[in-house]
Amino acid sequence: MIDFMLNRQTCTHCGACLIDCPARIISLGEDGYPAIASEKESNCYRCEHCLAICPTGSVSILGQHASGSRLLKDAFPDPDALETLIRGRRSVRRFKSDSLEPALLQRLLDVAWQAPTGENSRQVRFTVLDSHDKVVQLRDEVMAGLTRMINNNALPEGMGFFANFVSIWNKHRVDIIFRDAPHLLIVSAPQHVASPMQDCVIALSSFDLFAQANGVGTLWNGLAKCAMNDILPETRYRLGIPDDHLFGYAMVFGKPAMHYVRTVQHGPAQIYRALEGSPPEDPV
């Protein structure tokens, strides 16, 4: 089922795969080679750590071979460059209307999908609008739906401010919800997995950083999420988001129509060093 296979010519019996397996299901067979007993296969986390840690690339699992992996030695980004990315990524609210090249779009999604998930459930789903025309179509439907709700005095409590966005759209054709972006990404996950919300947000954070590293502008979009999921939940059906999925979050993205020259300067970080000295007073 999990297809754990070993190249006996290159395995050095170092035991790294045994020690690192978080499910502890790999043991040395009588012949001295690592193996997984068939009755233990169902406990496999499918994390592929055995493949990742083998120094000689002798392990394959789940149909994946070491030859398909990237080597990690000295290959992580320089910390200063990564720091600049984290400090320098900005919310982009002005976009060019042209679509990303399909290969780039695919790569951004494939890489973001590598993000970790609770219990390695790997059930995060990306729902994507891959052209400006599709975002325009959705925006028009959402604006029409919001207009209906406003006219019927049916906006949910606390969401009256959407009337303002619709009015600005009708009067000035300025789109404060989708920012007239060429792409929209919605991340969802089944409610039943261990940590659907966290899985979605980690995947979207990974997408955000990798997109910006590729010169693609992104905007976390709470307004779009609210409009589509909370005010007009029929939009979920329209977009094919499964009923049993938690709508994690939405992000618009595309080629930016502006560029930032420098980082901003937030901080200092709020850090509380716990368990130092006497305990804090009981909270009142």
Ligand X SMILES: Cc1cc2nc3c(=O)[nH]c(=O)nc-3n(C[C@H](O)[C@H](O)[C@H](O)COP(=O)(O)O)c2cc1C
In the complex, the residues that contact ligand X under the rule CB under 6 A are 90-91, 93, 219-223
Please report how close the Cβ of residue 93 comes to ligand X at its closest, in angstroms: 6
* Residue 63 vs 268, nearer CB to ligand X: 268
* Residue 126 vs 220, nearer CB to ligand X: 220
* Residue 117 vs 221, nearer CB to ligand X: 221
Return the SS3 of 84.
Answer: helix
Integer Cα distance of 256 and 133 in angstroms: 17
Integer Cα distance of 203 and 218 in angstroms: 14
Q: Find residue 247's DSSP bridge partners.
A: 188
* Residue 71 vs 264, nearer CB to ligand X: 264
**Tokens standing for 51?**
């493949």
Integer Cα distance of 84 and 266 in angstroms: 13
**Tokens standing for 261?**
């020259």
Integer Cα distance of 243 and 233 in angstroms: 10
Please report how close the Cβ of residue 234 comes to ligand X at its closest, in angstroms: 20
Give residue number: closest CB to ligand X.
222
* Residue 50 vs 208, nearer CB to ligand X: 208
Q: 139: part of which helix (H) or strand (E)?
A: helix 132-151
Please report how close the Cβ of residue 226 comes to ligand X at its closest, in angstroms: 8
Return the SS3 of 197.
Answer: helix
Please report how close the Cβ of residue 196 comes to ligand X at its closest, in angstroms: 16
Please report how close the Cβ of residue 247 comes to ligand X at its closest, in angstroms: 13
**Tokens standing for 121?**
């459930």
